[in-house]
Structure 1
C-alpha cells in the first residue's frame, strides 16, 4: 500500500471529508466540540464521545441540524477499553466505517508535586496517555480490518514540548508521552496507510481551561495571560485548533505522519 499522489486533485476535494467518518473523544464541549463542528462542516459523519452523555447528545443534534450530515453521540470513558471498543464499533456500524479518530479527551489538574497522590497521578495518566493508546489501538484495529487506511489525531498541547507552570507535572509528563506515541505509532501503522499526527494547542478559552487557570496563583495566572496575548494579539479560541485538526484529517496533509503540529501562536518558538 502507498499514499496516493493527489497533485491533480482540486483544492476543494482535498479539504473535503465527504464520505468519511470520524470520532472525537471529549467532543461535547470546548476544543472537542469545535473539532467535531469543523469535521462535520467538511462533510464527515461524526461520532461525539464524551463522559457527559446528555451534553454529547445535545452537541450531536446541534451539529446535525447545522450541517445536515449524520452526527451521533456515545457515552465514552477513555479509561475503559471496553467503552472505547464499543464507541469504535458504534461508529463503524452507524457511520458506515471509521476513517478518522481524534483523541481530545484530557485532564488538567493542578496539584503540587509534594501533594500529589499516586491515585491522582494514575488518573491523569489513565485519561491523557493510556486513553490515547487504547483509543489508537481500537481505531487502528478497525481501520486495518477495513483495509482503507485512516488518520489518528492526538491532541498533545504545548506542554508536550516544555514545562508549563507549578502543579502540572502529571499533565506535562502525559503530554510528552502522547507526543512520543505519535512518533512511534506513525512507524507501526504506516504500512497500513494509517497516518498518525499530533496537534499541540496553546491555552485557549474553553470551559475546562478557564477552570484550570482559576486554580493557579494570581501571579502565575497574570503572567500566562500577558504572555498569551502578546504574540498574535489575542488568546486562542477553540476554532483556532479545530482548523488545524481539519487540515490534519484531510488529504491536504496526506504526506504527513509522525509530526506534532504546533497551534501555539509562537509559544514554543
Structure 2
C-alpha cells in the first residue's frame, strides 16, 4: 500500500531533495511551501512510477489553522503516514549586532513552525489512529554553539532537538515516532547566501569560506541535499520503527557527538 508523507519547505533545497527521493522510493508526497508556485513546480517533477498522485499545497508553517487544514485534509483523504517539518530560514550577523526582529522571525519559522506543524500532524494522526512518523529538520548547529554569526539560528535548532525529544516522549503512547535530522554544510540556495554573509563578516571571499567548510568536514566535501534525503528515507522506514527521540547527524563528520 502506498504511504503518504507531507513535507514542509519542499519547494527548493533540502526539502526538494527529500520529496524527490521519497517519490523515487514509492512514497506519495504532498509538497508544501510558503511559495505555492515552487511547491507546484516541484510536485510536477516527482517520480510516479509506483502510481502515486503527488499533490502540492501552499503552507505558511507559522499559521496554526493552515497547518491543521493540511494535516486533517491529508489524513482524511489519503492517510497521514508521515510528516516532515523541514521549512527553515537563516540570517548571519554578529551576536552583538543581531537585530531582534530577525531573531523573532527565525524563532517563528525554525522553532515555533516545527511546534505548530508537529502538533497539527500529531493531532491528525491520533484522531485517525495512524501510528505515523514525524521528522524535524534540525542542524549540527543544534548540538554545538561553536558556530559564528548564527546565534539565533543555533538557538532555534537547539530548540528543535529538545522539542523532538519532548514530542517523542509524549506521543510514544500513540505509536507515533518523532526524530530529528541534523545536516552540516549543505549546498543549497540558503548556503549560497550564507557564504556571502560570512565572507563579508570575516572580510574574505565566499570561495575562502567554502574551503573552510570543506576543511572542517572530515569526509572532505560539501554536503549535498541528497545526503540528507537518503538518511530521511531510513527514519521514515519500518527499519527505524523502534527509534524515537533521536537527532541523527548527517554531516560528513563535521560535528561528532
1:164 Cα deviation after fit: 4.6
**Deviations 1:36-61, CA, capped at 9 Å, x for gaps:** 11211222111111011011101101
**Structure 2 equivalent of residue 19 of structure 1:** 2
Q: After the TM superposition, which segments of 4 or more aligned residues of structure 1 sit over 6 Å from their partners?
A: none
Write the distance in 2 (CA, Å) between the matches of 1:49 and 1:67: 21
Equivalent position to 1:122, from 101, 104, 118:
104
Closer, same or farther: CA 116–223 of 1 in aligned 2, 3 Å = closer
Write the distance in 2 (CA, Å) between the matches of 1:206 and 1:33: 10
**Structure 2 equivalent of residue 36 of structure 1:** 19
Paired residue secondary structure (1:205):
coil
Runs of at least 5 residues in structure 2 that lack an aligned partner in the other structure: none
Paired residue secondary structure (1:244):
helix
Write the distance in 1 (CA, Å) between the matches of 2:122 and 2:96: 38
**Structure 1 equivalent of residue 211 of structure 2:** 225
Equivalent position to 2:145, from 135, 152, 163:
163
Closer, same or farther: CA 37–255 of 1 in aligned 2, 3 Å = same
Closer, same or farther: CA 227–121 of 1 in aligned 2, 3 Å = closer
**Structure 1 equivalent of residue 241 of structure 2:** 254
1:219 Cα deviation after fit: 4.3
Paired residue secondary structure (2:71):
helix
**Structure 1 equivalent of residue 197 of structure 2:** 215
Closer, same or farther: CA 233–148 of 1 in aligned 2, 3 Å = same
Q: Summarize the alignment of residues 170-185 of structure 1 with structure 2, pairs less than 5 Å apart.
A: 170-185=152-167
Equivalent position to 2:222, from 218, 222, 235:
235
**Structure 2 equivalent of residue 81 of structure 1:** 64
Equivalent position to 2:174, from 192, 206, 216:
192
**Deviations 1:1-24, CA, capped at 9 Å, x for gaps:** xxxxxxxxxxxxxxxxx5211010
Q: Summarize the alignment of residues 1-16 of structure 1 with structure 2, pairs less than 5 Å apart.
A: none
Q: Is the 8 A contact 2:75 2:128 kept in 1?
A: no
Closer, same or farther: CA 70–256 of 1 in aligned 2, 3 Å = same
Aligned alpha-carbon RMSD (Å): 1.8
Paired residue secondary structure (1:256):
coil
TM-score using structure 1 length: 0.88
Paired residue secondary structure (1:87):
helix
**Structure 1 equivalent of residue 31 of structure 2:** 48
Runs of at least 5 residues in structure 1 that lack an aligned partner in the other structure: 1-17
Q: Is the 8 A contact 1:164 1:172 kept in 2?
A: no
Q: Is the 8 A contact 1:49 1:87 kept in 2?
A: no
1:87 Cα deviation after fit: 1.8
